[in-house]
Homo-oligomer: A and B are copies of this chain.
């Protein structure tokens, strides 16, 4: 009986597993999708509470398939994206449907190698899937200073330590030019990250999801440090941003951590980007600059019960002196409520936030604004 069953292909479906097609240890394909539909508003001023624009749209729509062929050691992970923002079509005219397309070879339980396009091991919030966030968007610090996806060779090494402690080493050599970049020059990017989990693994990989939906019975902590050197980068943020008028070297230093316990979650990130000569210009005198400076993001949240969560965020972006002519300091504070219908897969989120410029938090200061967002995430 078992033999017969082994020879047949298996179909599985589920609320949290998507759809999978498999055959023993010879074949697996998981199929998933998710979408984020949202309706929100922005005001133009901090003190006159008048909506200047509504933001109502499909923010993300993703198809994902992953699995293995021939051998569970040889895995693939492909993610395609179709919303206007996902395709980079809010800021560019080149559609970029491929988010992830990478092969992994698992040398052993604690070491695997990837070749393809995927997220760099940068700041924690970036690496957390957009499907596992507790606010509708990542922080303003992430927007400016994050390392994004890149194409290259990825090394992941886990070192078990005593008392369940875990050390993780991640290293990547990549193009440095971001998703679906064309061949540009001979400059590459080199990224290394160390993570330490002193109290052992989080339930359900909770060091890379926001909110403590697992109600960790004992305190869990993860700390990460990343350094990335991007040589001859051609975009203002390295992997992201407008094209610079000339290639520049830049480097990023990131420290982040997350703590979870009994429904509480505290996350912090510090990001710093540096470049010896951040400003580029063309013959017309237009200026484009490397986004140098530092950013901070802190989030604290509490599960009110098994399904509902309250979260706060404070984040800031401080440009380096050399670019303060072009780039303002930005601070943002948000309150978020999330109702989890099926964990992070199906959830309803409400956010209210205030953003202020140059550190001047008073409502009447020019450029300060309110934002409100209602978002439904639905996925398998």
| Residue positions of A touching B, CB distance < 8 A | 9-15, 19, 21-23, 26-27, 29, 33, 35, 37, 39, 41-42, 50-58, 61, 65, 69-70, 74, 76, 78, 80, 82-84, 87, 89-90, 93-98, 101-103, 115-117, 151-153, 174-175, 180-186, 188, 341-342, 345-346, 376, 378, 380
Contacts and interface: CB of A to CB of B under 8 A. Distances in A.
B51 A186 contact: yes
Contact of A98 (B22, B82, B185): B82
Closest 3 A/B residue pairs (Cβ): A55-B183, A95-B95, A84-B180
Contacts of A181: 57
Contacts of A84: 94, 96, 98, 180, 182
B376 A103 contact: yes
Contact of A152 (B51, B56, B116, B182): B56
A85 to B, nearest CB: 8
A37 B183 contact: no
Nearest to A342: B70
Contact of A102 (B11, B37, B152, B180): B37
Contacts of A51: 186
Contact of A341 (B50, B70, B346): B70
Q: How many copies does the complex hold?
A: 3
Contacts of A70: 15, 341-342, 346
A117 B33 CA distance: 16
Q: Please classify the interface of chain A as helix (H, G, I), strand (E, B), loop, or mixed, using the class held by over half of its residues.
A: strand
Contacts of A90: 182
Contacts of A151: 37, 56-58
B29 A19 contact: yes
Given A35-B116, A93-B93, A378-B69, A53 B186 contact: yes
Given A53-B186, A94-B89, A346-B74, A153 B19 contact: no
Given A27-B14, A37-B103, A116 B183 contact: no
Nearest to A90: B182
Contacts of A74: 341, 346, 378
A175 B58 contact: no
B29 A13 contact: yes
A241 to B, nearest CB: 18
A95 B87 contact: yes
Nearest to A76: B378
Contacts of A175: 54, 56-57
Contacts of A378: 69, 74, 76, 103
A199 B12 CA distance: 44
A101 B53 contact: no
A61 B98 contact: yes
Contacts of A56: 151-152, 174-175, 183
A188 B56 CA distance: 10
A78 B35 contact: yes
Contacts of A35: 76, 78, 101, 103, 116
